[in-house]
């Protein structure tokens, strides 16, 4: 920091800037001038309030231990980083301490900002910590031996499944993100990147896939697709398209 940082002009201000102000990572002289201006703006104040609420939700969650296989992969990467000539790391212990700081502080800050930006409410049900970790390399297979059957829902019950589907990235019979994108395009639904959550469901006896897309602060767009008929030129493959949540 040079002590000569300029205060960003606004409104409007970006969600990232407001999140940095909320997290206390801006230079003190910048934060002192920026905070009263942000708090005086209704839209920016709403983001601050959402960050406060999300932080309280996160603080109320039980501690979740890091899965052993994830810790092993991180330790292996840090060990490689600590080798001479690859990175200026004094020792593996120092690298592990840096990992713990990142996971304990930086990760939480990013999670709070993302949750507030998309209105994500994190739900933890009994036994959730015992769920097997998602496969980072490929979508989960449609079925697994001994796996629980898809959620059975009626059309007016989709909102009740939001918490469960948000915890999943299971494309089921759609198999790939590209197939999902094609089905959404067929229904005239635009979406960028990975859905907030996706899972196979049983919609009134019909095999389907439910995807949750961001729809603004505190809102979700629930799209239910028929994997047998959906596609880029097949709007009939969209079985349901509704938005839930509130500001």
Per the structure, how many domains does the chain have? 2
User: Do 188 and 233 have their domain in common?
Assistant: yes
Share of the chain above pLDDT 70, in %: 68
User: Do 109 and 90 have their domain in common?
Assistant: yes
Predicted confidence band at 172 (pLDDT cuts at 50, 70, 90)? Answer: very high
User: Do 138 and 234 have their domain in common?
Assistant: yes
Asked whether residue 129 is assigned to any structural domain, the reply reads no
User: Do 154 and 103 have their domain in common?
Assistant: no
User: Do 33 and 77 have their domain in common?
Assistant: yes
Residue ending a domain, choose from 65, 92, 123: 123
Asked whether residue 148 is assigned to any structural domain, the reply reads yes
- From the list 203, 244, 193, the residue with the least C-alpha distance to 226 is 203
Predicted confidence band at 181 (pLDDT cuts at 50, 70, 90)? Answer: very high
The predicted structure's pLDDT at residue 15: 86
Asked whether residue 4 is assigned to any structural domain, the reply reads no
User: Do 109 and 213 have their domain in common?
Assistant: no
What is the biggest distance separating any 2 CA atoms in the chain, rounded to whole angstroms? 64
Mean pLDDT of 57-67: 76
User: Do 160 and 74 have their domain in common?
Assistant: no
Task: Report the chain's mean pLDDT, rounded to a whole number.
Answer: 75
Domain, as residue range, for 23: 9-123
Residue ending a domain, choose from 88, 123, 158: 123
Strand order through the sheet with 206-214: 151-153, 197-203, 206-214, 219-225, 238-245
Asked whether residue 48 is assigned to any structural domain, the reply reads yes
Q: Give 48's contacts (C-beta < 8 A, 6+ positions apart).
A: 18, 21, 22, 38, 39
The predicted structure's pLDDT at residue 152: 92
Interval 205-242: pLDDT, tens: 999 999 999 887 778 889 999 999 999 999 999 999 99
Segment of 47-51, 52-56, 102-106, 115-119 carrying the highest mean pLDDT:
47-51
The predicted structure's pLDDT at residue 174: 93
Interval 28-46: pLDDT, tens: 888 888 888 888 888 888 8
* pLDDT of 184 strictly over 50: yes
**Cα 122 → chain centroid:** 9
Distance in angstroms (rounded) separating the CA atoms of residues 138 and 178: 13
Pick from 25-29, 128-132, 198-202, 239-243: least confident: 128-132
Residue ending a domain, choose from 98, 123, 148: 123
User: Do 237 and 150 have their domain in common?
Assistant: yes
Distance in angstroms (rounded) separating the CA atoms of residues 113 and 63: 19
The predicted structure's pLDDT at residue 141: 45
Distance in angstroms (rounded) separating the CA atoms of residues 191 and 124: 26
User: Do 22 and 118 have their domain in common?
Assistant: yes
The predicted structure's pLDDT at residue 129: 43
User: Do 157 and 239 have their domain in common?
Assistant: yes
């Amino acid at each position: 920091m040079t002590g000569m940082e300029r205060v960003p002009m606004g409104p409007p201000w970006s969600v990232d800037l407001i999140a940095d102000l909320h997290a206390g990572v801006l230079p003190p002289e910048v934060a002192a001038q920026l905070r009263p201006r942000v708090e005086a703006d209704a839209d920016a104040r709403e983001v601050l309030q959402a960050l406060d609420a999300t932080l309280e939700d996160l603080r109320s969650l039980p501690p979740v231990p890091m899965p052993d296989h994830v810790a092993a992969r991180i330790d292996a990467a840090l060990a490689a980083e600590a080798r001479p000539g690859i990175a200026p790391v004094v020792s593996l212990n120092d690298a592990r301490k840096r990992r713990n700081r990142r996971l304990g502080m930086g990760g939480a800050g990013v999670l709070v900002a993302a949750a507030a930006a998309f209105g994500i409410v994190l739900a933890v049900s009994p036994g959730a910590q015992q769920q097997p970790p998602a496969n980072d390399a490929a979508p989960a297979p449609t079925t697994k031996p001994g796996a629980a059957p898809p959620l059975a829902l009626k059309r007016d019950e989709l909102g009740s499944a939001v918490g469960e589907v948000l915890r999943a990235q299971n494309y089921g019979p759609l198999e790939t993100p590209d197939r999902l994108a094609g089905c959404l395009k067929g229904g005239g639904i635009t979406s960028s990147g990975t859905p907030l959550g996706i899972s196979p469901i049983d919609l009134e006896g019909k095999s389907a896939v439910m995807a949750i897309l961001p729809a603004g602060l505190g809102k979700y767009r629930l799209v239910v697709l028929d994997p047998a008929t959906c596609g880029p030129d097949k709007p009939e493959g969209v079985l349901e398209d509704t938005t839930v949540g509130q500001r």
